[in-house]
Structure 1
Amino acid sequence: MLNIDHLDVWFGDPPERVDAVKSAGFTVAQGESFGLVGESGSGKSTILRAITGLIGTWSGLIEVDGEKVSGQHRSRAFHKTVQMVFQDPYASLHPRHSVDRVLSETLHLQGMDQIDARITRLLDSVGLGKGFRFRYPHQLSGGQRQRVAIARALAAEPRLLLLDEPTSALDVSVQAEILNLLTDLRRERGLTYVMVSHDLAVVAHMCDRLAVMRGGEIVEVMEAARLRAGDPASDYARALLAASAGFAREGAPG
């Protein structure tokens, strides 16, 4: 579903040029959930932004469902296949647009018909009833806003969802609800996920495989089972695991 090879992403020009991603490569199979983990600034989210065309300064191979993409422009067909859910549900929704407008505009842009019925189905699919349809972002909790953002991403009926820290801006009590929703949607719709997270417990729970990033480079690609077993191959991944107090609490007995 996704093939990344020798991907370099940079910002600025020499001598100020910053190389944010260096020769990254991984593949994600249809229906797989793949994680990108690492410290802040390691290049995880930058990879997602290069895939979606939000960053134009990159080189290498980005291939989605067998189709190579280039530069910064992405076709309508690309956006029917690939959608992204951003980290901050407060920033990703227009404060003066109702849920109805957010979803109806997205559906129109994707050339969909039966807009009314589709909005109802989208809200149902993310656990929001029709009572939320004409609310505005300030009338929604953080978790409800993220459900709307997920519904907007699903409006195009994509097959690949890019998830950029989809729960990190939410209260801990709400995070599990959103992760369970994403798990259910993947199973029901046969979706493929690429999930960026600094939370190893989330990735261990949600993903089949993952890549560990450090300083813009991928230092290890492993099965999530090895992460759950506490047995990564690289020294850096072991140090990251040891430093992750959240993961230790997740795995602690009792």
Structure 2
Amino acid sequence: MGYIWETDNLVKNFTLSGGLFRPKQTVHALQGVSLYQEEGETLGIVGESGCGKSTFGYTLMGVHQATSGTIYMNGIEVNPYIHKDITRDMMQMVFQNPYASLNPRLKINTILEEPLELNPNYTPRDRVIRVKEVLE
């Protein structure tokens, strides 16, 4: 099995504008993050508020451009900020507010099965089996 995505020494800094008497400041949101997800693996990123979880996700998805470091998708180096179509075909973020991300009127099985409907390799039976595996 290969990696779906991988980051190598990913860095994301934000520059805050200064004022008349304040210089510009740099916020080091991500500092050298090296992480990967293997094919077939379900990954959750957890941590304290303000530790960089959302910034990492936004940078991986191409919402923010990385300051430095490398991102690979299926072993190929990409810039998700430029190649957003590649990234968005492979993964999806679930934001911290579940009511903004998950429809409370749908059963969790239906929600988890929905992205699998886009994959022609999954039959309806395969989707049900995969959802059951993930939930277990």
TM band (smaller chain): 0.5 to 0.7
TM-score, with normalisation over the residues of structure 2?
0.64
**Aligned counterparts of 1:53 and 1:19: Cα–Cα separation in 2:** 18
Is 1:9–1:22's contact at 8 Å kept on the other side of the alignment?
A: yes
Change (3 A) 1:73 1:152: farther
Q: Give the Cα separation in 2 of the matches to 1:71 and 1:19.
A: 20
Does residue 44 of structure 1 match 2:53?
Answer: yes
Distance 1:5 1:186 in 2: 33
Name the structure 2 match of 1:17: 26
TM-score computed with the length of structure 1 as normaliser: 0.38
2:131 — aligned with what?
185
Give the Cα–Cα distance (whole angstroms) in 2 for the partners of residues 146 and 67 of structure 1. Answer: 33
Deviation of 1:32 after TM superposition, in Å, equals: 1.9
> CA 1:88 to 1:79, structure 2 compared with 1: closer, same or farther past 3 Å?
same
Q: Is the 8 A contact 1:80 1:156 kept in 2?
A: no
User: For residue 228 of structure 1, what is the aligned residue in structure 2?
Assistant: none
> How far apart are 1:39 and its partner, in Å?
0.9
Count of aligned pairs: 118
Is 2:89 aligned against 1:73?
no
Identity of matched residues, %: 30
Q: CA deviation at 1:25?
A: 0.8
- Which runs of 5 or more residues in structure 1 are unaligned? 94-139, 158-182, 189-204, 207-254
Task: Report matched runs for 1:131-210 at 5 Å.
Answer: 142=104, 144=106, 150=112, 153-154=115-116, 156-157=118-119, 184-185=130-131, 187=133
1:34 match: secondary structure: coil
Q: Which amino acid aligns with 1:15?
A: K
1:35 CA drift (Å): 3.5
Q: Which one has more relative contact order, counting CA pairs under 8 Å at least 6 apart?
A: 1
Name the amino acid aligned to 2:6: N
1:82 paired to 2:85: no
* Distance change >3 Å, CA 42–CA 186, structure 1 → 2: farther
Per-residue CA distance 1:108-141 (angstroms, 9 max, x = gap):
xxxxxxxxxxxxxxxxxxxxxxxxxxxxxxxx6x
Tell me if 1:5 matches 2:8. Answer: yes
Q: Deviation at 1:147?
A: 6.8
Task: Work out the CA distance in 2 between the residues paired with 1:60 and 1:81.
Answer: 20
Opposite residue 38 of structure 1, the aligned amino acid is G
Distance verdict in 2 for CA 1:18–1:143, change over 3 Å: farther
Conserved? CA contact 1:63–1:69, under 8 Å: yes
Letter of the aligned partner of 1:21 in structure 2? L
Contact 1:89 1:146 in 2 (8 A): no
Cα RMSD after superposing both structures: 3.5
Structure 2 unaligned blocks of 5 or more: 17-22, 120-128
Mapped to 2, the partners of 1:145 and 1:10 lie a distance apart of 39
Q: Cα 1:77–1:184, aligned 2, differ >3 Å: closer, same or farther?
A: same
1:64 equivalent to 2:73? Answer yes
